[in-house]
Structure 1
Amino acid sequence: MPQAITVAVKDDLPQSQEKEKTNRHPSKGVTSHWANIATSWSLVTLPITALTVAFLVMVFQYRVTHDDIPFENLRSSSLELKDENNVIYVDLNSSVILFVTSWASSLAPMLTGFIMALASFPIARQLSNTIRNGCTDSLPTPYQFGLTLKFLDGSALAAIWFWMVYLISWGKTRKPQTPILVKVSNIAVLATVLGKGLLQGDSEVPFTQVSPIPNPMGYSFGLIPQCLRGNNSVAAQSEFDNGVARTCSMIFGRSAFLRDPPVTLQVMNNLSPNTSVYTHTASESHGKQFAYFGVPSEELNDNHDFTAHTYGAHTSCSLISQRCNLESVAPTVRYNCSAAFNGHITDANLHQAFFTDDKMSKSVLDYSNGPNKGTGNPFYFALASGEGSGFSSVPGGTSNPEFVQALNGIETFVLGCRSTIYDIEYDHVDGDITRFDARPSNTSVSNIWQSTTSNDWTNWSLSVKQAMTAALVTANTSQEFANQVALSFSKVSMAMGAQGIEKRPALATQNRNTTLVARIPLAPLIALVAVSFLFVLVGLSFTALAIWAARFEDARNIQASLGITGLVADRFEEESLKIGAKSVDEFFAEYIGEADRRVGMETDSKMEIYRYITLKGTDISNSDHRYPGVRSRPVHGGRTESEESSPGEV
């Protein structure tokens, strides 16, 4: 029983085909090609061009570079402040750049179909010439023609796949590729490769820029005006200038007093809002430990690097108990370092004295020849004391001769020290000191700290005593013990002279600004732009070829039919509909409102051969109910009944 598969949409608007055909104006063929060319050209070129230009504008508008370091000495060794070779940094979120480039990479593959649409015009022209010249062997085989239609009217990527399968799997049975198939396949491969080549890689990286600060912060320290009028010795600070004492750090009269005690006490107890005492071990000075002035940590900006001037001290001490003949003479321990420093240690009190030289021959407090007019830099002092009782050991072991135990159990000792005051210039970069240049100060500067510590020892002795107690427990050797005490003295002596200094602008200040930026390698960037404009150039080239080919009537008429739509119209519609048609849409009766035909399939009684057929109206009801939508006809002499009827119609 005849069977048929039908695909139909019923049309309720019948009109006269003949009337419509007579209403068409005579024409030299299809004229819709200009709209097709213009549409394909605009879709191929304008979006990719716009996205590429937008991408380049973003890259170069927001490009950032590591500018030259304003102060070479403030270059950070831990931060990369130099542009990588062949890399561009863009101060934009990488997702913004990815959004633009992903649009380009997504659009390009979708636009390959429009490149193929433009290419169909010169292909149609070549096909026309081949037919006109009678070159039958250059015409495609039916399967090659099917592949050509896939390239021109379908997915280029899918068509490439079927084309490759045809080349590889058909082997020797296939015919040689015709020039038309070679050309259309090459164009499809080119368009697809260009479309897939629009990819851009980027990543986000920390990016640090430095710039000078026009108004330097107050990270340096200098002397107050009162300390610039003399050599700041006891004698100099005791003088009067027009009835005003030249006091720098001390007030001298019958007794000696700190000029501004709150400043010293605040600095000593780490409570000052302006000044703090820090310690630093300087590799430039063979590992010496310095105490120096700096601004409090809460005043430091983490993003500021600076070069500052300040003052500092380095003190070195050693145990000189044997040199001073330290011995127990019950119930005390006696020491005799020199005529200027001797006595008895009876308890844990601190004995101290400052001298004009390292031989301890004369105390700076010896005013027999008038007030002290200053000492050199360094200045010298000695400390004698006893610490605690019941210690199981002392630094260097219980037999260390530099420690003598009194009858009451305290460990006694004598330290000889020298302290040097320095003018310091240092670089502070990324939270670390990268350069520490310490040079001995002149005596006008060192006398500030020498005169203050030697005349007002009560304010610093407690801190040093605490350091002695801690060192006696923690130090392993005599020198470790002496070094800990020396560093403690450097810190408190700096605090004692803090009244004579004030904040000054830094010598150099720069700001570090670290942000996340997009890192774009230059090679992929150039490749992206090159491929984008090559894609556009290919589109423009095929547009020019399409315009050239469309000048020929036969080329544009063949191009209109060179597709699945044209093939369907040729197979299932009347040829008379093509007369006067201006576009391929007019090849169909449905376009003029008369669509009484439906497309189906039929098979023979054995259901081995299937073929397309067209049916009209009631023919659909004759389908076999055992095989819905399929009708079969007996084969008569190798031809079905439908084949004996008019072509394309039952």
Structure 2
Amino acid sequence: MADIKEGDAKTGVKASVEPLLGASSIEEPVISQRPNRDVKNAIWAIVTGVALPCIPIIVVLVLLIYLIYKHKLDLWSGYVELLPSGTITNASNGALSALSDLRHNGGKAAYIVQYNPSTLTTIASWTSRIIPYLTSSIMALVAFFAARYLVQQSKRGDDAVLPNPEQLTLLIGLLGGSGVDSIKDTLFHRWLKKERLIHPVPAVFWVLLFITFLNILIPAVDTWFGIATHPITIDILSNTTTKQNFGRQLYTQGENATCTNGPRTNTSFNWGINTYWPCSILLAGKSLENLVAVQDPTDSTLLQLGLPTSTKLSNYSVGSTHWIFYTDSKMGRSLDFIASAPAVSTQCRPMTRLCEQGYNNETFTYDCTSGFRINMTSPWPYTLSNETAPIDDPSLSLSEATLTGIAFGSDAELSTTPGLVQNASLGGTGFGPITWPEIIPSNPAYFGTWARNYPGLLSISDELVTDPELDYSGSGVQWFLNCTTTVANVTYAWTNGSIQSFNTELVSPEMAALFTGPFSLIGLTEGYKDVLKSTMSTIARTAALSDTMDQLANTWALEFSRNAMALSIGAFTPLQTVLEQQRTQAVIVTRVPLGPLFLLIALKLVYVVAVIGLAIGAYAFTHPSETEVVKEQLSTKGLAAAHFDQPQLLQSNAVKATQEHFDRHINKRSDRDPGSSTADEPKPGISRAKTLPRDLDGGKARVGLAPDPEGTWKFIMLANGVWHSIEPIVKTFAVNEAKAGNLGGASGIIAGWK
């Protein structure tokens, strides 16, 4: 074998290294093939490297997203007009509270999903369970880039850009995907030994660091998602096309309509007086006893007593104003709606001290205002002056009578009194004259009321007896109130069993008089008088349970509104709702927070995109059919196999052998038979190395690649441009792996290898 001499124009090697190594000739193999290019194996390796990490992650991610969006419920699917007032929640107070909410609930934004929360969190956690096992598959793609770099630099024969054995150890550890241990070893080597990392070690290090970071971050977000996803109880809303008759309107149409002419009616037997008559009061009796009656007395009585009927009376307060209005007994939490109905509100204030100033002890008369005078002994009504006297039986003494009454005025000061209406022929011949105070339509309506012996002497409270607005004497107590009644049509929104909005609109004066007018007719007939007498007595008795006169005034006002509505129910009929939505209550659903969900999706997509990007890069830029063989050797097992395929300690000029190898490749393309070499054709010199690279004077061992006769690449150590066997680093790798039992049945043999 000819020596490799200094100044070789073809190789550029500076000096012969054989004298330095003291090598002896061995059999000289002929390198006549180019490295094998098996495209199928390379593509299969890349496809496997992509499929193993990406398919499980994509399947889990798609399944999770599918289940969430398939079973997702709209947070609010009903009408905006029926939006509950408590839907908007207040922000958390303080940073600690906000952090706690972020940790446990994942923030304010969330999907409402009608699906088992445990199933969703379990599916999401599948990725975290398999990700730690996917790193090696991803690093197998990175190995294509590392292999490509080593092949390119080995072809150039430049020792300085190839890794030394120790850094090759780090590279193989990083490509093995062992994660934190390999990263730690690389950092210690860089900073403790102060040795610059040779490519491709830094690039592989950063790739593994990024993958390891994702491997830690994705399970952490998975855990957060599992904590923040929890069951809650909500009401599910759905719009309906049917309409319920939960509203109330004036009964103007239909066969049995009671108010065909509106709230005022003039039709009756021999009606000859043009005056207001409320359609809530029936004027059609065949006898004087039943000439006047309440329309629909059954429902009226049931409402007054608070007993079940199709209509019920509800109370809604706006500040200090209490509205009594018609609602339907079938209302509940299962149906939200908007409906309209009439409503009455009454406010009263005590005026007993004002009335006491005009008291006449001889006539038992109280002159409260110019239009409001009460004669406690006269029968009702006193036709000469429109004074009202609530004593029904003049023979009763003041101490024996239990009295209460009402009288209307034209203004809030009760300065004028309505006139009297007289009809001598009302109801037909033989009924005699009938007189009643004129009903003047007004909204608001003004009136005064009084009561005697409400409460009785034995039941009066200590607080009430000392109230200056209560007139207390040795024979009994009496009090006087100045009141105002307002009538409106209300439109209210009923949501989740409560009123969410309440809008009022004043009705016409005639509509208002429909509710207040019946109280002016207290003495028309004996039958109707009993109804009003019982009503007024009940109101006074309830109010008398109060402790102060202000409380008594408020209670009387509320009870008056209730009874005015009850007596007028016959004039109204059900009305369809404006809007409706069905409410399914107390449905257990899953709250899926958007923050953890979208962060989890984003991280997994980054993971998948990064792997696919590596695969595309490996296929497009690393010549995978050539580097796949090298990639397989970038592991402990691959390195050991490379050594046992060439057990002799070999050395040759790396640059010259590589150049001659590619010269033969060029000649092969020129139709030369690679097997017909002649004796004149130069052959690469190969000889046994008696000295290891680390023993070379001034030489630094590097690990590169060399083509072999079988057409593949083999790892060879280089020093000063000379190839050497990789037995030293292989031995270290193989023995360590064998001791750990990672080489299967061969572990025992290799562990004893010396």
TM value normalised by structure 1: 0.71
**The 10-residue stretch of structure 1 (335-344 or 422-431) with the greater mean CA deviation from structure 2:** 335-344
- 1:280 equivalent to 2:289? Answer no
- Which letter does structure 2 place at the counterpart of 1:291? I
Deviation at 1:553, TM superposition (A): 6.6
> Cα deviation per residue 1:592-618 (whole Å; 9 max; x = unaligned)?
xxxxxxxxx99xxxxxxx99999xxxx
Q: How does 1:417-432 map to 2 (within 5 A)?
A: 417-430=483-496, 431-432=498-499
Partner in structure 2 of residue 229 of structure 1: 260
- Which letter does structure 2 place at the counterpart of 1:559? K
- 1:501 equivalent to 2:559? Answer no
Residue of 309, 320, 345 corresponding to 2:398: 345
The 3-state SS of whatever aligns with 2:293 is: strand
Give me the whole-angstrom Cα distance separating, in 2, the residues matched to 1:448 and 1:38.
86
The answer to whether the 8 Å contact 1:249/1:260 transfers is no
Partner in structure 2 of residue 483 of structure 1: 554
Give me the whole-angstrom Cα distance separating, in 1, the residues matched to 2:139 and 2:181.
14
The 3-state SS of whatever aligns with 2:325 is: strand
The 3-state SS of whatever aligns with 1:300 is: coil
Q: How does 1:270-419 map to 2 (within 5 A)?
A: 270-283=306-319, 287-296=320-329, 299-301=331-333, 303-316=335-348, 318-320=350-352, 323=355, 325-326=358-359, 335=366, 337=373, 339=385, 340-342=387-389, 345-347=398-400, 349-355=402-408, 357=410, 358=414, 361=417, 367=423, 374-377=439-442, 378=445, 380=447, 382-387=449-454, 388-390=456-458, 398=466, 400=468, 402-407=470-475, 410-419=476-485
The answer to whether the 8 Å contact 1:326/1:413 transfers is no
Q: How does 1:243-258 map to 2 (within 5 A)?
A: 248-253=280-285, 254-255=288-289, 256-258=292-294
- Which letter does structure 1 place at the counterpart of 2:130? L
The 3-state SS of whatever aligns with 1:425 is: strand
Give me the whole-angstrom Cα distance separating, in 1, the residues matched to 2:624 and 2:84.
71
Task: Count how many residue pairs are aligned between Structure 1 and Structure 2.
Answer: 553
Deviation at 1:291, TM superposition (A): 2.2
Residue of 176, 182, 185 corresponding to 2:202: 182
Residue of 53, 64, 75 corresponding to 2:62: 53
The answer to whether the 8 Å contact 2:339/2:492 transfers is yes
Deviation at 1:271, TM superposition (A): 1.8
The answer to whether the 8 Å contact 2:337/2:577 transfers is no
Give me the whole-angstrom Cα distance separating, in 1, the residues matched to 2:419 and 2:405.
10
Deviation at 1:179, TM superposition (A): 0.5
Deviation at 1:504, TM superposition (A): 0.9
Q: How does 1:451-490 map to 2 (within 5 A)?
A: 451=518, 454-455=521-522, 456-459=528-531, 461-462=533-534, 464-476=536-548, 478-490=549-561
Residue of 189, 213, 235 corresponding to 2:240: 213
CA RMSD between the two structures: 4.5
Partner in structure 1 of residue 639 of structure 2: 567
Q: 1:413 to 1:312 in 2, by over 3 A?
A: closer
- Which letter does structure 2 place at the counterpart of 1:282? V
The 3-state SS of whatever aligns with 2:316 is: strand
The answer to whether the 8 Å contact 1:328/1:405 transfers is no
- Which letter does structure 2 place at the counterpart of 1:47? P
The answer to whether the 8 Å contact 2:247/2:327 transfers is yes
Deviation at 1:411, TM superposition (A): 1.6
Deviation at 1:276, TM superposition (A): 1.3
Q: 1:328 to 1:611 in 2, by over 3 A?
A: closer
Partner in structure 2 of residue 37 of structure 1: 46
The answer to whether the 8 Å contact 1:404/1:411 transfers is yes
Partner in structure 2 of residue 157 of structure 1: 180
The 3-state SS of whatever aligns with 1:299 is: coil
- 1:142 equivalent to 2:160? Answer no
Give me the whole-angstrom Cα distance separating, in 1, the residues matched to 2:154 and 2:469.
120
TM value normalised by structure 2: 0.62
The 3-state SS of whatever aligns with 2:196 is: coil
The 3-state SS of whatever aligns with 2:453 is: strand
Give me the whole-angstrom Cα distance separating, in 2, the residues matched to 1:540 and 1:294.
66
Q: 1:448 to 1:385 in 2, by over 3 A?
A: same
The answer to whether the 8 Å contact 1:32/1:583 transfers is no
> Cα deviation per residue 1:251-306 (whole Å; 9 max; x = unaligned)?
443132333321112111222331112223323xxx3223222223x532355142
> Cα deviation per residue 1:290-334 (whole Å; 9 max; x = unaligned)?
3222223x53235514242333242535334753745667xx966
Partner in structure 1 of residue 101 of structure 2: none
The answer to whether the 8 Å contact 1:231/1:447 transfers is no
Q: 1:272 to 1:222 in 2, by over 3 A?
A: farther
Q: 1:289 to 1:247 in 2, by over 3 A?
A: closer
The answer to whether the 8 Å contact 1:549/1:556 transfers is no
The answer to whether the 8 Å contact 2:251/2:260 transfers is no
The 3-state SS of whatever aligns with 1:543 is: helix
Deviation at 1:558, TM superposition (A): 2.4
Give me the whole-angstrom Cα distance separating, in 2, the residues matched to 1:351 and 1:549.
105
The answer to whether the 8 Å contact 2:190/2:196 transfers is no
Deviation at 1:421, TM superposition (A): 3.3
The answer to whether the 8 Å contact 2:279/2:571 transfers is no
Give me the whole-angstrom Cα distance separating, in 2, the residues matched to 1:29 and 1:418.
104
**The 10-residue stretch of structure 1 (37-46 or 116-125) with the greater mean CA deviation from structure 2:** 37-46
The answer to whether the 8 Å contact 1:406/1:412 transfers is no
- Which letter does structure 2 place at the counterpart of 1:497? S
Deviation at 1:412, TM superposition (A): 2.6
Q: 1:179 to 1:300 in 2, by over 3 A?
A: same
Deviation at 1:145, TM superposition (A): 1.9
Give me the whole-angstrom Cα distance separating, in 2, the residues matched to 1:91 and 1:103.
20
The 3-state SS of whatever aligns with 2:200 is: helix
Partner in structure 1 of residue 627 of structure 2: 555
> Cα deviation per residue 1:85-115 (whole Å; 9 max; x = unaligned)?
9945252444444334322344334222111
Q: 1:230 to 1:379 in 2, by over 3 A?
A: farther
The answer to whether the 8 Å contact 2:259/2:571 transfers is no
Q: 1:420 to 1:133 in 2, by over 3 A?
A: closer
Q: 1:135 to 1:570 in 2, by over 3 A?
A: same
Give me the whole-angstrom Cα distance separating, in 2, the residues matched to 1:159 and 1:571.
23
The answer to whether the 8 Å contact 1:304/1:509 transfers is yes
Partner in structure 2 of residue 3 of structure 1: none
Residue of 298, 305, 310 corresponding to 1:269: 305
> Cα deviation per residue 1:167-218 (whole Å; 9 max; x = unaligned)?
34x243xx32110211221221222234444435454567777664322322
The 3-state SS of whatever aligns with 1:503 is: strand
Unaligned segments of structure 1, at least 5 residues: 1-25, 585-600, 603-609, 615-628, 633-641, 643-647
Q: 1:238 to 1:312 in 2, by over 3 A?
A: farther
Q: 1:233 to 1:416 in 2, by over 3 A?
A: farther
- Which letter does structure 1 place at the counterpart of 2:577? A
Partner in structure 2 of residue 520 of structure 1: 593
Unaligned segments of structure 2, at least 5 residues: 1-33, 91-105, 272-276, 368-372, 375-384, 392-396, 425-432, 523-527, 649-707, 715-730, 740-747
The answer to whether the 8 Å contact 2:85/2:500 transfers is no
Q: 1:612 to 1:315 in 2, by over 3 A?
A: closer
Give me the whole-angstrom Cα distance separating, in 2, the residues matched to 1:213 and 1:462.
44
Q: 1:538 to 1:412 in 2, by over 3 A?
A: closer
Q: How does 1:603-642 map to 2 (within 5 A)?
A: none
The answer to whether the 8 Å contact 1:395/1:472 transfers is no
Residue of 77, 102, 120 corresponding to 2:125: 102
Give me the whole-angstrom Cα distance separating, in 2, the residues matched to 1:453 and 1:440.
20
Q: 1:35 to 1:289 in 2, by over 3 A?
A: closer
Give me the whole-angstrom Cα distance separating, in 2, the residues matched to 1:147 and 1:424.
82
- Which letter does structure 1 place at the counterpart of 2:299? V
Give me the whole-angstrom Cα distance separating, in 2, the residues matched to 1:553 and 1:424.
83
